[in-house]
Amino acid sequence: MFERFSRGYYLGRLYVEPAERETAALCREQHERVNEQLYADDEGIDRLDRPLVMKLGSSHFPVTGDEGVPPDTLTVPRGLLEDTRVRNPPTLKEVLLAKADRARQLLSLTGGDPAAGMDAVPGIDRDGGEGDDSPGFDGPAI
């Protein structure tokens, strides 16, 4: 689903479609699997409901899990979707997933507690910075 892309991100391709909701969402099972594989710290019980942090266009946003979202699909609030310049949804798009350290950094900038669950994450964080990206696929798909 996701492959290493740079020091700060993984790259994946998901169907992106608009949703009438406040936060972006991914299939709950995939959300938990990605959360466990990428954000687990191997120090006891890990929370699988922590938001993932994704980037579409120049917008970073938290992504939660939802049983109503089909596999390989990212539902995005309409307002955010308009900001990302996604045309003709649903459409297959490249999506960046922040690695654990980058996700913690982005969540801390928005006032969200990276150790807490979804309730501590504010709405949308916009950050167009690409400072730590060095493109190149160098790892296994997740």
Alpha carbons within 13 A on the beta-carbon side of 55: 21
Q: Is residue 56 domain-resident?
A: yes
From the list 83, 74, 80, 68, the residue with the least C-alpha distance to 123 is 80
| Tens of pLDDT, residues 82-108 | 777 777 777 888 999 999 888 888 877
What's the whole-model pTM score? 0.71
Over residues 24-52, the pLDDT tens digits come to 999 999 999 988 887 776 665 566 667 88
Whether 27 is covered by a domain: the verdict is yes
Task: With respect to residue 135, please indicate whether it lies within any of the assigned structural domains.
Answer: no
Within-domain flag for 124: no
| 75 close to 14: Cβ distance less than 8 angstroms | no
Q: Rounded to an integer, what distance in angstroms lies between the CA atom of residue 83 and that of residue 128?
A: 12
Cβ-proximal residues to 44 (8 Å cutoff; 6+ apart), any chain: none
State which residues form the domain around 55. 2-116
